[in-house]
Structure formats: C-alpha cells, structure tokens
Amino acid sequence: MSCGFPFRYPDLANPLNEPQASPTRADSCQASNIPDGSSSRLAMISARFDGGPVEKLMRRMQRILDARNYHVLIVEAGAGDDFGDATLEYLYQIKRENGVILAVCTWNYAEMTASQYSSHKELQFALENSIEVIPLRVEDTYPPKPPFGDHHPHDQHGLGQALVQMKIPPTLVFLECRGRTALQIASDIAGRLSSEKALAKMPSSRSLASNQLRSPQGAGATMIFDDAWVQSEREETSLEVDIPDGFGSRLAMVSASADRGPVITHMRAVQECLISHNYEVLMVHVGAGADVGQQTMACLGRIKRERGVILAVCTQDYAEVTASQFSSYRHLRFALDNSLEVLPLRVEDIYPPEPPWGEEHPYDQNGSGQALVGMKIPPSLVPLDCRGRTAVQIASDIAERLSIEKAGRSPLRDAGDPSFSNSMTRSFASSPPLP
C-alpha cells in the first residue's frame, strides 16, 4: 500500500503573507466597491478549523462579505456551543437552496478524522447531494493531499484523497487565494456568487415551498401494513423458516419514530422472529410504567460499546426533531456522533425520510432533521426494502446482514468469549444504563 502518513506538516506560519491586523478604514472604503449581495447565491465555508492564519483570513473574508449582504455561512462555536447542530443546519440549508461550498484547500483538506463534522464529511455531503464546490487555493500543494496510510488512525486506504479526486478534479477551476488579502478574496468570491450563471442556479425564492411544516402523513407516505395483516404476521413468526442460528451474530437496535402504529407492531414481530433464532436485537418498549429514557440509554450504550448496528425504520418522519430527548432524531444523531453503522429499513414509498420542519414547527425551524438524514442515510447507502414483505422475510434479510460472515465477529459477543453467556436475556434489561 502506498503510505501517505505520517506527513511532514508544512510550515503554515503565514502561508498567505496575510497581515493579521483588524480591518482598516481603507479596507472598509474598498469593501464598499463590492456590489450589494442581497440577491446573491448562498455559500458555506468548509475548512480545517485550527485557529491558524488561514482560518483567520477566511473569517475576515466572511465578515467583509457579510457586511455587503452576501449569504456566506461559517460555523461559529464558542464554549458550550454544539458545532454539530450548526454544521447540520448549514449543510441542509445549502442543499435545499442549491448553494455552493467554498472549500478552503489546505494540503490536508478532506482528511478523515474522528469528527463527524469534519471537512471530509462536508465534502462527502457535497458529493452525495450534487452540491457545487468552489475550491479556494490557499497553499502551493494543490489539489489537497489529505494524509492516509497503514498508521493513520482513521484512513488506511486513501479515502480522503479519493474523495478529493472525485469532487475536486483537476478540471475544476480553483479561485487563487495565495498572496491575496481578505478583501481581494472577498471581491472575487462576490463575483462568483452574484454572476448571472450563479444566480440562474438559485431557487426562485429563499422562502421555498419545502420550508413549510409538513405532516408526516402527507401525500406519498403510503402505509404498507394494516392491523389485520400485522396480526397474521405475528402468528407467522412461530413457523419454521430458513433463518440460521444467530449465536455470535452482531448486536442490533431497532430505531423508529414513536406512534407509528402498524409499522411498530410489524417491527416487533420482526424482532421476535430474530430473537427466537438467537439474534440479539434491542428495541425500546413503551408500555405503561416503562422508563423510555433509561431503556434508550441502555440500548444505545450497548450498541456503542459492542459496535452494533442501528436498524433505522425509515418512515417519512424518521429523525424528526421532537420534544423528546430519546427520539429517532436522537438515535440517529448518536449514531452519527459515534460513527455507528446504520442499516436503513425502507418501509414506505417516500425514501429517504423527509422529517417535517419549517417556521411553524415547534422544534425544527431550520431543517436539522433532514440534514441529519442527508449525512447519515445518504443516497449511496443501500436500504433494505421492507415494502410488501412479511415479518419473517424481513427478519431473514436482517439475519443475513447481522451474521458473522457479513458483519464480522464482535469481540464482546464472540462465541469463544468466556464472558458471553448463551443464556443471556435477550432484552435491554441485560445491559446497565450508560455511566
């Protein structure tokens, strides 16, 4: 394997020779020569934020554009702030308004890191959703060459460089920023965002029709299960089926929106079928007196510790932001933050999920739910199609995904692990809550 890690880090003391002083009165006067950007195209700055001179330059450039009414987003996260929420909100705003990503191409841009909100994830989101990228060349090394290799903690196979090659190919013209001031860069970007070509790609209005509160039972949210069919499915789970024994298989958790009636009932029949074949599939029970919070924390805690998989029941409203701190949105956000694998279960015609949001939504005015879906359930992630299928058929497909051959042997559930007992109770109660 060609090893790209470790690299000798370039000297970034001041790669752009950019003075770090505050904007002068002369700067303000010159900035007034930038045309008003009230009708310009939306943009978001994507960069490796490390507090260095490049970041300071980009933030100064953004302030200049903001003063001229250009819509350029940049994550600001002070002490106690959650930059994950801001990243999700901004990325979805870029997607729904057909905005553009301003990729600050330092040599290590798009490197895979422990963060789920890194420049790699932002560029991958742009690739998955066909979002336009304008590369900003700020260093001599171009295109970026994010490190990778056998000793890299997150990228042994060069996925960062492959992503760069796909989304920032040599044929994509970059904006030259080397040796230029924040004002000069701002002027060039303003020209890109307000050109006739850029404006032609904008939606007709920033107040989009999709920016309205939508009911999860809207048109197209076809329910595939009815109560009578579900009852027959529950009876069918006792029949002999060709599902291999699940001892030693990968741990899983069913994640679904609450109050989905027949869908939830059907998924419980799937869970029962898998449990009867020794698969360990967790699912929160919401009966009278049940502590949903404790159950959810216990289930998610085990999934994280044992590197299990989230079975996302993708109804239209899956991942909607609600008042609950233990909703499907929180499940999926936990999966994103902790790099957990998600297996989407497609149960309705509308896919991927389109959780409602909008100005009238009590908890999600900015589309955070849909942004989360876009990052963790991208179009490239193949769902398991459950439409029109019985509980046994769905269970059989899931069993194949959770088997040792497909998923690999978890060290905590290895059949050779003396700490693992075959008599372990197949429920969340076998796990302590998160510490």
With residue 391 as reference, give the H or E element that holds it: helix 391-402
**Which one-letter amino acid corresponds to residue 151?**
H
With residue 102 as reference, give the H or E element that holds it: strand 100-105
Out of 206-210, 230-234, 239-243, least confident range: 206-210
Q: Which residues pair with 137 in a beta bridge?
A: 105, 176
Highest-pLDDT range among 24-28, 38-42, 225-229, 420-424: 38-42
Closest CA to 113 of 3, 12, 1, 5: 5
Q: Quote the pTM value.
A: 0.63
Statement: residue 311 has pLDDT above 70? yes
Q: pLDDT tens digit string along 370-429?
A: 999 999 999 889 999 999 999 999 999 999 999 854 455 443 333 333 333 333 333 333
Q: Which residue has the higher pLDDT, 74 or 326?
A: 74
Q: Residue range 41-63: average pLDDT?
A: 94
From the CB of residue 150, how many other CB atoms can be counted at a distance below 10 Å? 10
Q: Residue range 80-89: average pLDDT?
A: 77
Statement: residue 63 has pLDDT above 80? yes
Out of 128-132, 279-283, 318-322, 351-355, least confident range: 128-132
pLDDT given at position 182: 95
Structure tokens at 118: 């890194």
Q: pLDDT tens digit string along 138-181?
A: 999 999 999 999 999 999 988 899 899 889 988 899 999 999 99
Out of 244-258, 343-357, 365-379, 400-414, least confident range: 400-414
Q: Residue range 204-231: average pLDDT?
A: 45
Instruction: Give me the phi and psi of 279, to 5 degrees please.
Output: -90, 145
Structure tokens at 203: 């939606």
Q: Residue range 305-321: average pLDDT?
A: 95
Instruction: Estimate to the nearest angstrom the gap between the alpha carbon of 431 and the chain centroid.
Output: 27
pLDDT confidence band for 84 (50 / 70 / 90): confident
**Which one-letter amino acid corresponds to residue 213?**
L
Closest CA to 263 of 386, 412, 125: 386
Q: Considering the chain, tell me which residue range(s) the CATH 3.40.50 domain(s) occupy.
A: 25-209
**Percentage of the chain exceeding pLDDT 70:** 72
d(CA 110, CA 127): 12
d(CA 334, CA 432): 18
Determine whether domain 25-209 maps to CATH 3.40.50: yes
Statement: residue 8 has pLDDT above 80? no
DSSP string across 11-60: --SSTT----SPPPHHHHHHHTTSPP-TTSPPEEEE----SSHHHHHHHH
pLDDT given at position 100: 97
Instruction: Give me the phi and psi of 175, to 5 degrees please.
Output: -100, 120
Statement: residue 3 has pLDDT above 70? no
Q: Residue range 293-305: average pLDDT?
A: 87
